Structure 1
Amino acid sequence: MSEISNKISGFTLNHVDLESKTQRLLTSALKRANICTSCQPQSLFWDANYFGLNQVKYFCSATPQQQQQILQFANKDLLEEIYWVEQAGVGYMAKMVILAQTHEERLLYSLFSADEATHLATITPFLKEVPVFSGDTFLSYMAKAIESDDKLLLMVLVQVVLEGWGMGHYRSLAKYCLNPHLGEVLQGFLDAEARHHALGVTLVKNSTDYCQESLGNIYSALTYFLHIVQVGPQRLLINIERVLGYLSANDKVEILTELETEKHSSKKLDLLRSLLVGTVPDSIIESLEKQGSFHPYSPSQCIK
């Protein structure tokens, strides 16, 4: 991560000491806003069924300790992804305050930044420790993308796609969460996500600022994001291999087949296409369709 990409995403921001005056002021401000930052400790928030691991032979034949380790890694990945996305959301909304073109837009983005700060503050206590950014491929790409001053690209990538996607993702996480408190926290994100998404769709649809550069930027960003969905649950494969040891290409294909990767990726890609159709220019949709970006990869394609 370059230094500049930290400016908006905040992925490499330092944390002040817990006893510092800044931290005490933050704690006080959160209390005055009735933002709960306590949690109920729990080792696992989502079980094997949520990840589809109950269908995977290698997981089912592993020892209970190995199964627990794999689930702990998978749970940690999910929580940290939420943390980093909300962290970037705070910076993104603050940037959009500056880029706002009307009084109402400026006020909305100011309120949205507070939403993201609230989400970040409420999810953080569920992490055992404040995470250190690992350089995750998707998150690194997002950090670089939101440094752009191409407002249309920003709105399409973050508000139309990611926040539109996030509504279903958070709803699923909340529904199947083993911890009622965390489930309520995630369910509480949904109204804000819907507002953020709705404004993005409205502004993109009404925009007259499209130029060839913006069209190219949006096309490239969507190609990359859709590719991440096409390749399936790569992090889950990494976690299984991390605990059980080396997996051959055939092993990985077998696991992805048992996870029904192609089927689940197809549903996700269909959802993403529905979010884009009628919002971004038809020329972008047509180009994405032509290159097969809405088609899932087979298990064997996923591991290449």
Structure 2
Amino acid sequence: MVEVSPRDGLQNEDVLLSTDDKVALISSLAAAGLRRIEATSFVHPKRVPQMADAEAVAARLPRGQVSWIGLVLNERGLDRAIAAGLDEVNVVVVATDTFSTRNQGVTTAEGIAAWQRIAVRAKDAGLRTTVTIAAAFGCPFEGEVPVSRVREVVAGCLQARPDELALADTIGVGVPAQVRALAGVAASEAPGVPLRWHFHNTRNTGYANALTAAELAGDSPVALDSSAGGIGGCPFAPDATGNIATEDLLYLLGRSGYDVGVDVSALLPVARRLGDQLGHEVPGQLSRAGLFPLGSAVR
């Protein structure tokens, strides 16, 4: 499990939480047992003001049991992540030129080249690396993204071998058939590289996709991104709301027989508190419906 609410969750919210509130959220997530947390992103504060206090948040992260992840888009972001003492960096390469240009100001090929430079420097600094192929399931501007295009982008990124390859349904259009197809791409183009998936539930397919990814993994390592309360989305993708909610996903996995190792009951008040802080009801449903059987603990 990779918890992304402090970053991908908050970056798309109109309300800017204080550094104190962010640290409290992060501490609650860690206390529930989440051990990989995307704490912030090192991007330009004018572009994403919700992440303007990245260094202040990083300085207050409890060290030890959790691997802290920072999103970076360029070498300047990497410099900041290294200085802040992060454990991992997540670098985004967008699968389509139109979205890549609007989101990061570079073409996909330029994004791949930037990733390759960042990967070398991050490894030299002792940071674990993830490359995320964004819009792998569909683009808000170009529409369908052919599997062949994703294959091409993955092959380019694998020239600088990451510690993890992530495939992202940035706008929440994917279905399980696409998960199976892209898992095949990863198996052929990145054999032996641990796989990570980032799903949104914009069209109510995120949980089906996540369960499909878990089932396809078998005994191989796989990571699933999720956001407490289901908050967030990409601020540069029109209508791209709806990360899958951590507590809802953990309930699904736990009831399906997976050992998730997280105290789901501890996350329910976290989701409710986020709703109060952000001024709207969170998309996740478990914080309202509760566990089943009543009073049970799913881990």
TM score, norm. by length of structure 1: 0.26
Q: Which has the higher contact order (CA 8 A, sep 6+)?
A: 1
User: Comparing both structures, which one devotes a greater share of its residues to strand?
Assistant: 2
Larger Rg: 1
